[in-house]
Structure 1
């Protein structure tokens, strides 16, 4: 708790990271590096991060040394406004997130110590302030942390380093099923999400298979949103007014459809997947689109060529990576 209490002051330093200021070669900057707080001057490109830090009670100035690391430093991976915008968030809409979830998400972007770009390489792991590891991936000459592209590196400060990234990183700290339940129970967004998916998992008795256990496999899961299931019902001539309505479909059909969304491939972030076919646990091969702008599309063999887009990519759980999508992936039924 001491670590979290201290680190709750860490992200005010990245409220508005000024890359232009960091790159300026004025004499005062060269003579003495400013603290992260001084680098984090008002910059409209980071206004959402500023608002998030306030709303999530991650208030602070990182003008002081980090007492929890011998170096006295912090490393911060700072999402831009566009990074928040991928999730439909800006400084005026952050209230759709639960404060506790927002706080943990912000702290997931912070780590103790001074991790500079020369130590960031493919396959290396970095532990966040909430104790969850993040991994670095190299692709096409770019570096990613989880599925987030590192846009700028080594914005140096007297008490650490800042790197800018293009997507907000999310980690739940629990397994795939519990992560879905957290969304369904409005512990992430203030309104429920993935309620139909949770109902389907319970209906098909797949809770155990997708839950964490000793030595359990790591999955990539394409998780259809509530609206995706509602749209599926309409396409089938059914009305899905509530999650229990999915039980109008035979349990074996729902089982096949659900398993068509799960791939046992050690859990892949978007930047680790390639265009082509992948084989899920059940159903038929899925088709992945090209990796573009930090995301991919995916389609099922029975979806008539319609592709699903990622609404929330790269959610890290304890037994896999979840990508929330806007369409149910149908096999050939």
Structure 2
């Protein structure tokens, strides 16, 4: 089985996320042996950001690092776990809200499109939006 990074690269629908993780120097976390959960915005989620947002983030590495880290949770959190929790602490340091209803999940305002893509070092859940930590969103 591949790690989080290889799985994201091989899927072919996370090119922007991988580019952002590389720019933010977070590739090692996605390759490390620890167990992580990645709420992975697909390329369409990044494309839906207001025009110029991504370019501006790629120029502001500290902010970009906070945003990418906000999509990563320590531990292997699968859909069975998502049903039982209403928040999760991210590597960025703040919390994402988890909502579960009718077999569907939301992370903050993003819909979870697919759950439980297993990797060697964790699990990926595909989301349709880019999560913004409050301190970044407000700046």
Mapped contact 2:9–2:15 kept (Cα < 8 A): no
Helix, strand or coil: the match of 2:46?
helix
Q: Which has the higher contact order (CA 8 A, sep 6+)?
A: 2
Instruction: Give the distance between the partners of 1:35 and 1:48, measured in 2 at CA.
Output: 18
Residue-pair matches, total: 137
Q: Report the equivalent of 1:159.
A: 121
Mapped contact 1:132–1:173 kept (Cα < 8 A): no
Q: What does residue range 179-218 of structure 1 map to in structure 2 within 5 Å?
A: 179=138, 182=139
Q: Evaluate the alpha carbon distance shift between residue 39 and residue 168 of structure 1 in structure 2; reply closer, same or farther with a 3 A threshold.
A: same
Q: Which moved more, 1:141-150 or 1:118-127?
A: 118-127
Q: Evaluate the alpha carbon distance shift between residue 119 and residue 165 of structure 1 in structure 2; reply closer, same or farther with a 3 A threshold.
A: same
- Cα offsets for 1:50-101 (capped at 9, x unmatched): 22122223233633312xxxxxx011100001111111469xx732122211
Q: Report the equivalent of 1:38.
A: 6
Gaps of 5+ in 1: 1-32, 67-72, 183-333
Q: Report the equivalent of 2:20.
A: 52
The alpha-carbon deviation at position 38 of structure 1 amounts to: 3.3
The alpha-carbon deviation at position 140 of structure 1 amounts to: 5.4
Mapped contact 2:69–2:91 kept (Cα < 8 A): yes
Structure with bigger gyration radius = 1
Instruction: Give the distance between the partners of 1:127 and 1:52, measured in 2 at CA.
Output: 21
Give the counterpart of 2:70 among 108, 121, 125: 108
Helix, strand or coil: the match of 1:129?
coil
Gaps of 5+ in 2: none
Helix, strand or coil: the match of 1:41?
helix
Instruction: Give the distance between the partners of 2:42 and 2:7, measured in 1 at CA.
Output: 15
Pairwise CA RMSD: 2.5
**2:88 aligned with 1:120, yes or no?**
no
Q: Evaluate the alpha carbon distance shift between residue 94 and residue 57 of structure 1 in structure 2; reply closer, same or farther with a 3 A threshold.
A: farther
Helix, strand or coil: the match of 1:144?
strand
Give the counterpart of 2:49 among 84, 87, 110: 87
Helix, strand or coil: the match of 2:17?
helix
More helix by share: 2
More strand by share: 2
The alpha-carbon deviation at position 150 of structure 1 amounts to: 0.6
Q: Scaled by the length of structure 2, what TM-score is found? A: 0.83
- Cα offsets for 1:236-271 (capped at 9, x unmatched): xxxxxxxxxxxxxxxxxxxxxxxxxxxxxxxxxxxx
Instruction: Give the distance between the partners of 2:37 and 2:74, measured in 1 at CA.
Output: 6
Mapped contact 1:149–1:167 kept (Cα < 8 A): yes
